[in-house]
Amino acid sequence: MSVYLRLFWEFFQTGLFAVGGGMATLPFLKNIGQATGWYTYTDLMNMLAVSESTPGPIGINMATYVGFTVKGIPGVIVATIGEITPSVIVILIVAAMLKKFRDSKLVNHAFYGLRPASTALIGAACVSVVLEVLTHVTITAPAGSIVNHFSLEAASGLLNWPGLLLAAVLLVLTNWVKPTKNLHPIVFIILSAVVGIAAGAA
């Protein structure tokens, strides 16, 4: 299959099944990276950070970034169009029968099950990010197996202590400190970048 066709198809699926906005596309993008080898999970996290720090909806920024990583400017166009196509089709249909859609029991019941699943998928993505960044556990799946393997890089110890310390500080600042908790994420991203540079220079 041509790369462009694959790119379009993967993003079409993401646009169709990711419910609840930009962050909901993260588990799908992670899966695409694993299945195709186009980018690593670390690459994806960097893309997410850039997407949160630049203008535009996060989901679109991430699709654009992945598209660029895979195939430059043509990749940008194919990935983004792929991601928005299902939305446009679904919304045009919903708009035509707005009242029916809102009162539909079937739709409401499906979303009753969908919402916690969507949250859980992002939660699982969060667990793998935390394992990858804050510990030295690597997750791999042998070819043909659907069970993930967790392995420890013995030489480096279990935990990334400086990272954990920074994470704890950020967690407190974004949740419990009144003057800082409503600041835009870009503030914390810049702060973390500065800490990273300072720690690297020390």
Partner 1 sequence: MEEKEVSLSALFWTFAKIGVMTFGGGYAMLPILQREVVENRKWAAEEEIMDYYAIGQCTPGIIAVNTATFIGQKKRGVAGGIAATLGVVFPSMVIISILAGLITNFSHLAWVQNAFSGIQVCVCVLIFNAVMKLLKKSVVDRRTAAIFAVVLLGSIFLRIPPTWFVIAAAAAGILLKNLEVKGK
User: Residue 171: CA atoms inside 13 Å, Cβ hemisphere, count?
Assistant: 7
Alpha-carbon distance values, 58 to 25, 26, 61, 198 (Å): 10, 10, 5, 28
154 contacts partner 1 (rule: CB under 8 A): no
| SS3 category, 150 | strand
- Phi and psi at residue 171, in whole multiples of 5°? -60, -45
171 contacts partner 1 (rule: CB under 8 A): yes
- As measured in angstroms, the least distance from the Cβ of 138 to partner 1 is 14
How far apart are the C-alpha atoms of 79 and 166, rounded to whole Å? 34
Radius of gyration (Cα) for the chain, nearest Å?
19
- As measured in angstroms, the least distance from the Cβ of 190 to partner 1 is 9
Residue of the chain from 119, 152, 158, 161 that contacts partner 1 (CB under 8 A): 119
- DSSP label of 20: S
57 contacts partner 1 (rule: CB under 8 A): yes
Window 60 to 89, contacts with partner 1 (CB under 8 A) = 60-61, 64-65, 68-69, 73, 76-77, 80, 83-84, 86-88
Piece of 1-9, 151-159, 167-175 that binds partner 1 (CB under 8 A): 167-175
Query: Nearer to partner 1 by C-beta: 5 or 172?
Result: 172
